[in-house]
Amino acid sequence: MRRQQFREHYSAYPIGFLANKEDANYGGKIFMPPSALEEISQREVVYPLLFKIQTEDNASSAISTDDGASKRTHCGVLEFTAEEGRVYLPQWMMDTLGISPGTVVEVINVALLRGSLTKLQPQSVDFLDISDHRAVLENELRKFSALTVGDVIAFKYNEKEYRIKVVETQPSPTAINIVETDLSVDFAPPVGYVEPTRPGTGVDSRASNYSSATGGNGGSSIAKDIKRREEAAKDELASSRFAAFRGSGNRLSSKSVANASGGVEGSGRPASVRSYASNVAESKVPDSAEDDGDEQPVPLDLPIGTLFFGYKLRPPPGAEDQQANDGDNDGDEAKFQGSGRVLRQRRKR
The tens digit of pLDDT for each residue in 82-101 reads 999 999 999 999 999 999 99
Q: Quick one: DSSP state of residue 171? A: S
What are the pLDDT digits (tens) for 24-72? 999 999 999 999 999 998 888 888 999 999 987 655 444 444 444 448 9
Average pLDDT of the residues in 293-312: 69
- Ranges 59-73, 223-237, 322-336, most confident: 223-237
Q: In whole angstroms, what is the distance from residue 249 CA to residue 226 CA? A: 44
Reported confidence tier of residue 289, pLDDT bands at 50, 70, 90:
very low
| Distance (Å) of CA 137 to CA 162, 233, 265 | 11, 18, 48
Comparing CA positions, the residue from 138, 52, 127 lying closest to residue 87 is 52
- pLDDT (0 to 100) of residue 234: 78
Environment class of 185 (CB within 10 Å of its CB; exposed 0-12, middle 13-18, buried 19+): buried
Torsion of CA 264, 267, 269, 275, to 10 degrees: 50
Q: In terms of pLDDT, which residue wins out, 130 or 233?
A: 130
Reported confidence tier of residue 332, pLDDT bands at 50, 70, 90:
low
Reported confidence tier of residue 247, pLDDT bands at 50, 70, 90:
low
- Cα 43 → chain centroid: 43
Q: Across the chain, what does the average pLDDT equal?
A: 76
Q: Quick one: DSSP state of residue 83? A: P
Q: Is the preceding peptide bond at 171 cis, omega within 30 degrees of 0? A: yes
Distant-in-sequence, close-in-space partners of 291: CB < 8 Å, separation ≥ 6: 314, 316, 317
Cβ distance 122 to 162 under 8 Å? yes
